Structure 1
């Protein structure tokens, strides 16, 4: 199977081939043992290997060690050129430092090793044919040739193996960078989704509840205009106040600021106002109490506590048909708790729900690191308890 390689990596091999070719030509010219005409011809043939390698091997940079027809053509031409150059000047054997790594570059391991064996023993045969090899030197030259073959195969294979490992590491780094980019995109998308969910909860827990109050009061006013104008006017005032608060909340949601009810008041005061507004709008009494020694919590925790309290009372308004509500804000040493209990008709907690309120509350509490408890049954009312992490500061003593 073809192995992919980039232009930069292949360029390193081109640089090596060029440098090795130049060095070989210089050494051949510096040793004119067979006379200058034969030496010049031998050097010219070795020099010609470089453009041949460039034109035949370079197109295969996308299929390195793929045994393509271009690769085999280069091996055949390089072997023939080497034989002629070696026959003209035995210093041309230095060209083996060029062609051996190249053979391992363009062919897989076994064909490359075979080509190196052929070119080395072929060179020995050329020396014998041109009469440059004495019978007494055959054994020594043969042993040296075997050694050269072994060294050429070993080091050429190691060079290509190390280069392959380097290339694979480079590809791995590229994949890691791509994965990091994908992770960053996914994180950005997840952050955007979380922000949309947060805004949806904010709108549900503030604007939707406010509009529900306005609608409820509007229906009440329609029946009170003729029978009790004073109550009708008070309900209209409440509608106006609720609309103004909704407008403020919408602006604060857009600006991602702290909820309006907590802007300039404590959590206890904000919950007390919510309870008072609920009682005034619905006529259902709310017994609101605070236990423990009050201490400030993180703003994000107080926001969750306020939203849970608002949603709990909104559920009582819409679903419970209750006659009374007990609400408790409990300060503990490591937490702040919200408890809302009504005497309404309750419901089956395991039954499928269509609304967003309970799920939104659970999500808020879970994200804040708190616990969410719901106790209810048909005809037995509902009790909602939430505990949020709020460690007391040094010197603050809590119940």
Structure 2
């Protein structure tokens, strides 16, 4: 490990700034300070500074090379600090400027403190060995050592706490993401259950209800009116086949809508003809020849089927009117009956809510107008997606 693994992008930027400052205020001053000294001191200092600079450059250019070890650079730094302190009659300034180096390129706080002490000792020995002795340099070296250790330990603790907080936040984020994924999965399952319940109610359940009504009528009239019973049995067979097709659609064994490509008006006429045949009610239909996309077509068909089923089961009506037209805001479907009516706010059951939810998903809306004894009006509107 060449550098501390906890260094983030901001610390890397600060480290680059420090590297530049260290080269400017750490390496340059010793080289400039000996320009008027004797040749041995001048060239010796320049050589030491050059060797240290080259070592630092190699460390920056090849940080992942196993032959280039930060500990080797720190050892070279300690030696140069001691040598330059001897040549320059003191090296406290160079030592203090270089304090962050020991923390940046050490693997552990203990190693950093070890190199710091070694650097301070080398600087003190150089200060004492190079006449004249400079007490001020020695004092500032010791102050720098104490400050470097304390500030370094404090920074290390701050970084450790930051890493711990990041770890905790990361764990919380993972937990939140996991909980969110579970919630999405549950929501998806709930939405799918609601969709299947609505489809079953609007298709299979209505078909089975029709089969039951027809079967009861056929059974009661099989002796007195065999022809009518045969006709009702034929309707039962046809309804059962349609239910089978709808069941295959629900489980994905057939394309939605049975693959039909006819317009909505033609499909509605077939539904109304079957309804008249099965119930004997009078149905008035005004159906505009409108083509629309499959989701819109299915929504209008399901609303019609559910409304007609409600008329059969609850309204006690004799006449039903169905109007399909293109209105100002899109497609409009109106279904009215002359039945006993009801209070919409008191209605319970899945049918009306299922129709309303189906239309809402497509950007439409459902309006139910009724009161006891006044019949019922169902008005469905959808944005127009037709190709005409």
Per the alignment, residue 357 of structure 2 pairs with 363
Instruction: State the secondary structure of the residue aligned to 1:311.
Output: helix
| 1:329 aligns with one of 324, 328, 339 | 324
Q: Which runs of 5+ in 1 are unaligned?
A: 1-7, 34-91, 108-114
- Name the TM-score, length of structure 1 as normaliser: 0.64
Q: Call closer, same or farther: CA 1:270–1:303 in 2, change over 3 Å.
A: same
Shift of 1:367: 0.9
Shift of 1:171: 6.0
Q: Call closer, same or farther: CA 1:282–1:148 in 2, change over 3 Å.
A: same
The answer to whether the Cα contact below 8 Å between 1:316 and 1:342 also exists between their aligned partners in 2 is yes
Aligned pairs (5 A) from 1:3-22: 9=5, 21-22=71-72
The answer to whether the Cα contact below 8 Å between 1:101 and 1:160 also exists between their aligned partners in 2 is no
Q: Call closer, same or farther: CA 1:151–1:307 in 2, change over 3 Å.
A: same
Q: Call closer, same or farther: CA 1:296–1:149 in 2, change over 3 Å.
A: farther
Instruction: State the secondary structure of the residue aligned to 2:342.
Output: coil
Aligned pairs (5 A) from 1:382-393: 382-393=376-387
Per the alignment, residue 258 of structure 1 pairs with 256
Per the alignment, residue 137 of structure 1 pairs with 134
- Name the TM-score, length of structure 2 as normaliser: 0.65
The answer to whether the Cα contact below 8 Å between 1:104 and 1:157 also exists between their aligned partners in 2 is no
Shift of 1:265: 2.1
Per the alignment, residue 367 of structure 2 pairs with 373
Per the alignment, residue 190 of structure 2 pairs with 193
Aligned residues: 315
Q: Call closer, same or farther: CA 1:378–1:137 in 2, change over 3 Å.
A: same
Say which is worse superposed, 319-328 or 152-161, in terms of deviation.
152-161
Off by >4 Å, runs of 4+ in structure 1? 8-12, 18-33, 95-107, 131-136, 151-182
The answer to whether the Cα contact below 8 Å between 2:264 and 2:290 also exists between their aligned partners in 1 is no
Per the alignment, residue 80 of structure 1 pairs with none
2: CA distance between counterparts of 1:139 and 1:385? 96
1:243 is aligned to 2:243: no
The answer to whether the Cα contact below 8 Å between 1:21 and 1:98 also exists between their aligned partners in 2 is no
1: CA distance between counterparts of 2:152 and 2:81? 26
Instruction: State the secondary structure of the residue aligned to 2:214.
Output: helix
Deviations 1:169-212 (A, max 9, x none): 57656654554454444334333332222222111111111110
Instruction: State the secondary structure of the residue aligned to 1:259.
Output: helix
Aligned pairs (5 A) from 1:192-341: 192-255=189-252, 257-260=255-258, 263-291=260-288, 294-332=289-327, 334-341=329-336
2: CA distance between counterparts of 1:224 and 1:31? 116
2: CA distance between counterparts of 1:340 and 1:31? 97
The answer to whether the Cα contact below 8 Å between 2:335 and 2:379 also exists between their aligned partners in 1 is yes
The answer to whether the Cα contact below 8 Å between 1:369 and 1:389 also exists between their aligned partners in 2 is yes
The answer to whether the Cα contact below 8 Å between 1:326 and 1:340 also exists between their aligned partners in 2 is yes
Instruction: State the secondary structure of the residue aligned to 2:344.
Output: coil
Q: Call closer, same or farther: CA 1:31–1:155 in 2, change over 3 Å.
A: closer
The answer to whether the Cα contact below 8 Å between 2:365 and 2:380 also exists between their aligned partners in 1 is yes
2: CA distance between counterparts of 1:28 and 1:135? 22
Q: Which runs of 5+ in 2 are unaligned?
A: 9-62, 84-94
Per the alignment, residue 60 of structure 2 pairs with none
The answer to whether the Cα contact below 8 Å between 1:333 and 1:391 also exists between their aligned partners in 2 is no
What CA RMSD, in Å, does the superposition of the two structures yield over aligned residues? 4.6
Deviations 1:146-167 (A, max 9, x none): 2444455446645664675567
Shift of 1:145: 2.5
| 1:343 aligns with one of 338, 355, 358 | 338
Instruction: State the secondary structure of the residue aligned to 2:303.
Output: helix
